[in-house]
Structure 1
């Protein structure tokens, strides 16, 4: 599942994103955030974090620096 999600995000980054231009209000970009979140936290939690981030990426949010939270050790 993780491999599929990462592949889909990479396809978006390399084929669709260049056509749309830079639109993300955050650093790192939402697609980079999604890749990192899935790599660090796995498919389920990484997808949840990415969805939360995407819902914040709109013209009425100020944006800014929003790094992926570190994985907490148990």
Structure 2
């Protein structure tokens, strides 16, 4: 399941509009953060952390980054 999640993130990167991908103010980007979190913490905790980070984002300018 983790590899499917990572594959879906890569698909998102291919199909998401360029303006959406470039609007991210976070470093690393949320998609890269998701891949790192999935690899480091596994499927459940990785997605939990990713969803928390996405919840902090307020497009198009991004939100507050809490390390």
Q: Please tell me the TM-score bracket, short chain as reference.
A: 0.7 to 0.9
Instruction: Report the CA distance between 1:15 and its aligned residue.
Output: 2.2
Over aligned residues, Cα RMSD in angstroms? Answer: 2.2
Any gaps of 5 or more consecutive residues in structure 1? 67-74
Between Structure 1 and Structure 2, which shows a larger proportion of strand residues? 1
Q: Corresponding residue for 1:70?
A: none
- Number of aligned pairs? 65
Q: Work out whether residues 9 and 31 of structure 2, in 8 Å CA contact, stay in contact via their aligned partners in 1.
A: yes
Pair 1:61-2:59 in alignment: no
Q: Corresponding residue for 1:7?
A: 7
Dislocated runs of 4+, deviation >2 Å: 17-21, 59-63
Between Structure 1 and Structure 2, which shows a larger proportion of helix residues? 2
Any gaps of 5 or more consecutive residues in structure 2? none
TM-score, normalised via structure 1 length:
0.73
Question: Is the radius of gyration larger for structure 1 or structure 2?
Answer: 1
